[in-house]
Structure 1
Amino acid sequence: MQQPPAITPETADWTFVITEGCAECGFSPQEVTSTGERLRATIPTWRAALARDDASARPVPTVWSPVEYACHVRDTCRIFRERLELMLREDDPVFANWDQDATAVEEDYFHQAPAEVADQLAAEAEATAAAFDAVRADQWERPGRRSNGSVFTVDTFAVYFLHDIEHHVHDVTR
């Protein structure tokens, strides 16, 4: 199968959304009250996007297709759930680097089956929603940090994660 054109790697540091929100997708951090509930609410939108006839088509050659975005969201749910569990288990852990662009190529997101990805994304989103739902009141200020030094609490980590998911919903529905 033919490989699609390469996507320009993401270089932005999106941590600003934790306090400022995102003008591009309309995300407001002040409105985040339940990460699990809002994550679950995205599942029907992902299923609808992946059921479209053009789910595997890129809108332009260098922008991910809905199935590629969904693969990224599926994997983001898994990675962030693992990181959340690490923050709850260890004191101030440092997260291993995750190169999302390399993963997209290595896992061949472009050629994955939309219906299978829809089921996988739903399962990962549900598991991650349950993990955030299970965070106790006394755990929301536990710290963790990315390999680049960005520091999070469970609370800010939840906001950062939710923006990523909702931003990509915006990407496939505009």
Structure 2
Amino acid sequence: MIASGPMREPCDVLSSVRRELARFPAVLEALLKDLDAATWRARPTPAEWAPVEIVCHLRDEEVEDFGARIKIVLEGGAAFSPIDPERWAAERRNARAPLGDALGPAEVTWAEIIGPSRMIV
């Protein structure tokens, strides 16, 4: 599908994305702050991840996947490396991760992305 409407300036799009990313840590914290330990680790169904596993997945994608994909695009690469989030979750024992370990590295990455000196172009 081709987007309709006027073309947006890349700098405007980047500014908009940064504003949304700046909100994300606070939104995520608000969603998680009242979870007790049991809820933090509870899977709604055996096939669905618990909140801790979802947060670890966000961390893993942010720290290990998204940056690599951006680099490939900017360098004109043709293919992305395959990822295996299910395997990562099992190998890293994400279901047992404390909140600080789950979020820590991702929070640093988000701060770098939205920081004033960070440019993706």
TM-score (norm 2): 0.69
Taking the TM superposition and a 5 Å limit, the aligned residue runs for 1:1-174 are 34-51=16-33, 52-53=35-36, 54-78=39-63, 79-88=65-74, 90-129=75-114, 134-136=119-121
| Cα offset, 1:81, TM superposition | 1.3
How many angstroms does 1:33 deviate by?
Answer: 6.7
With over 3 angstroms needed to count, the CA separation of the structure-2 counterparts of 1:64 and 1:32, relative to structure 1, is farther
What is the rounded CA distance, in whole Å, between the counterparts of 1:72 and 1:99 in structure 2?
A: 11
CA distance in 2, matches of 1:81, 1:40: 17
TM-score (norm 1): 0.51
Amino acid in the other structure paired with 2:20: R
Is the 1:72–1:100 contact (alpha carbons within 8 Å) kept by the matching residues of 2?
Answer: yes
Unaligned runs of 5+ in 2: 2-12
Q: Which residue number corresponds to residue 8 of structure 1?
A: none
In structure 2, relative to structure 1, the CA distance for the partners of 1:115 and 1:92 (3 Å cut) is closer
Deviation, 1:80, is: 0.5
Q: Which is greater in Rg?
A: 2
**C-alpha deviations, 1:101-137, integer Å up to 9, x for none?**
111111111111113223333223233445xx6123x
Q: Which has the higher helix share?
A: 2
Identity of aligned residues (%): 24
Q: Do the aligned partners of 1:50 and 1:118 also contact (CA within 8 Å) in 2? A: no
Q: CA RMSD in A?
A: 2.6
Structure 2 CA distance, aligned partners of 1:32 and 1:134?
9
Aligned AA (2:54): Y
